[in-house]
Structure 1
């Protein structure tokens, strides 16, 4: 992927965001809408999606919801097709939908583990599989993957979640090589810290554990701003940890190395 230091305008671009009904996904929809982009949001819950669409339309842009289960390849292909019908092209695709379960590996039901893999790993795979042919036909496009710092650092008591994030990282490393002949197609991997979002607060918990969102968790709107930054100035990897005080730094270091 060619680097480009020039920041580009994304006004009028069509952006597809999975997991767009809450948390980072909704924040990303708002952030891209503020930039004047056309927004297509996807998630399983239609009511929450409609709220995101209303938010974007209130900001003066065109927006559409496509109920989608990213673990199902046909759903994601339908999302790509609907996005193309919406505005004739897809400029930016944000793989963001994800789920998490926490507990001792052998105490988490295997069907729960399998769903984490289907949503997180296969969901991103389905997104790339559906949009890369579109990008190649257009000869341009940006795929942004919200991987999480979990793609480099195992999450405690979340072995399967961690495996999906390491898997996403490996898959996208391979795809970078496959798009090397398309200098205007970019695959950008974002590695933010844990988020202060509903996904983390409501994740499935087992083994009697009840993890709380730590005080140094990032605001989803800050993570969304990093997505916009990648869209304007694409780069292969962006690591982002927002630490605002020495107290938070000490808590983070304690968590990582305890």
Structure 2
């Protein structure tokens, strides 16, 4: 029987039971993909991260699984994993490398975790009317698509409308067969925040992701160009809520900065 040191960590929050919970498993031996998928299903969280031991390049291999499939890159599970390793080993910097061989440098700075991520582009794309109806949206101000994450971005008229969306997830899933999720965003009406978002992904995980770092790989550039800013504060207005600061460093790299709270530590027996 294998025993895996396992955590549940709430990401993009400074309070327990807010933000986005992720599973984190520390591996001493390799696991089959099927085993990692079963563990992700058992934990039942939107994503579970599996961290390998430090390699010869001083990097931690990391993989992410939803209860349905492997996800190449996940912001909140990266933040959760960073929190675990910083607390366990007392480091102030680490580097993850994902299944796409993408290097993710992470730093601890005055209690905040800073993650360096790539910047992705969006291209104009039409949203099917059936998808808009399933979301409860009459009209989108803009519609765009990101190829790396297979996510459709919709900008709508107000943060108040965004907060009150109550999608029909069965109809939403049937409305499109070429995306992993749909991100809905609007200018923020909250003091201290620039934009807000919600992320729905019944195609590849759970119905709604409470706080999502990965979407900001293209969302930060999208709003940065609209607002003429390189540093912005983002609020995810899901039921659990979440927050992060984003900074565009150049045309290819960005920083996502936030906090996380460990709420459970134990051993998983398989």
Same fold (TM over 0.5): no
Q: TM-score, normalised by structure 2?
A: 0.26
Q: TM-score, normalised by structure 1?
A: 0.27
Structure with the bigger percentage of helix: 1
Structure with the bigger percentage of strand: 2
